[in-house]
Amino acid sequence: MSAQTSSPLRNGPPVPASGGGLGQSLHDTWVICKRNLIRMVRIPEVLVFGLVQPVMFVVLFSYVFGGSIALPGAGLSAAAYREYLMAGIFAQTVTFATAGASAGLAEDMQKGLVDRFRSLPMSRGAVLSGRTLADSAQTALILVVLAGVALIVGWRTHENFGKVLAGFGLLLLLGYAFSWIGALIGLLVRTPEAATSGGLVWLFPLTFVSTAFVPSQNMPAVLGHIAEWNPFSATVQACRDLFGNALPGGAPSGAWPMQHPVWASLIYSVLIVLVFRTLAVRRYRKATS
């Protein structure tokens, strides 16, 4: 006679638990993911406020800095700067979502929800995997809206639809990778407020010491080299290439990530997932043991 188990995340009669191993892990991950997606739908203001900042950046950078920053091969062209800018804004948006992920997980820890999950016969990594997947879904929705705003202010792509989709795929992969950094921060701090601060303090130098808003040639030599090898810059440059928004003559830097940005973006993102997922799951097990 097979054992029957029930989950507090489901309504209705108990259902048999899924098989062990990978099947159990995938099932548990989906349950946690669905729980966070339902929460997102029931609290739409979180999504609305998540859109305010990137939309403000699009408008402010487009009309305040557009035409005042010289680009190699394009000069002081406001239209050229808007196309150069948008890949950076998209990448900044997916990475800044990390702070929300940190605060959400810290809140779950503080309220004891993670302890309730621990009492269930479920995969330990599923709690974190489900949350990061739900955060990626929210980020995808924000990117769709943000792309619409970008089109309104004059941003255009000049490559085929497949390459454009590949560019957005790299952005989502970067956001997913950084969500694991956010998960680790959320597990290391004690309060959601600390998680929000901890989730933002390292993002500002990462995103601004990059090629997102200005070319590396406009920076001091040391900062320029850091920007060229920044994982964030690799994804930004890859998106510019895939969107057809690259500067005339291609990447002005000889650094490997700038010459092979798509490969660099993939390598960086996969490495970040592997390293920080391992650290986050290990920390989660210690925190709930």
205-216 pLDDT, tens digit each: 999 999 998 888
DSSP state of 159: S
Find, among 58, 67, 83, the residue nearest to 246 by Cα: 83
The answer to whether residue 79 is domain-embedded is yes
Answer whether residue 76 shows pLDDT above 80: no
Q: What is the pTM of this model?
A: 0.85
Residue 251 domain flag: yes
Residue that the structure tokens 């669905």 belong to: 34
Which pLDDT value is given to residue 105? Answer: 82
Residue 13 pLDDT more than 50? no
Give the residue numbers spanning the domain of 226: 22-287
The size of the chain, in residues, is 289
Domain count, the chain: 1
Query: What pLDDT, on a 0 to 100 scale, did the predictor assign at position 20?
Result: 56
**Chain centroid to CA 241:** 20
More confident site: 90 or 111: 90
Query: Is 5 part of any domain?
Result: no
What share of the chain in percent tops pLDDT 90?
Answer: 32
Smallest Cα–Cα separation from 36: which of 122, 114, 91, 143? 114
Beta strands, E only, 95-138:
none
CA atoms of 163 and 156, how far apart (whole Å): 13
**Is residue 246 situated within a structural domain?**
yes
User: Each residue of 107-163: pLDDT tens digit?
Assistant: 877 777 777 777 777 777 788 888 899 889 989 988 998 999 899 888 999 999 999
Q: Can you tell me whether residue 210 is helix, strand or coil?
A: coil
Higher pLDDT, 251 or 137: 137
Whole-number pLDDT of residue 235: 96
- Per mean pLDDT, which of 62-71, 84-93, 95-104, 113-122 is the most reliable? 84-93
Quick check: is 166 in a domain? Answer: yes
Whether residue 16 is contained in a domain is answered as no
> Worst-scoring range by mean pLDDT, 17-26, 50-59, 75-84, 279-288?
17-26
Q: How far apart are CA 88 and CA 212, in angstroms?
A: 4
- Nearest-5° Cα angle at 143, 198 to 232: 50
In a domain, 14, yes or no: no
Nearest to 230 by CA among 248, 214, 241, 244: 214
The 10 Å Cβ neighbour count of residue 144 is 10
Residue with tokens 């239209």: 79
**Residue showing tokens 């795929």:** 169
- pLDDT tier, 7 (very low <50, low <70, confident <90, very high otherwise): very low
Which residue carries 């989906």 as its tokens? 30
Region 76-94: mean pLDDT is: 87
Strand partners, 15: 5
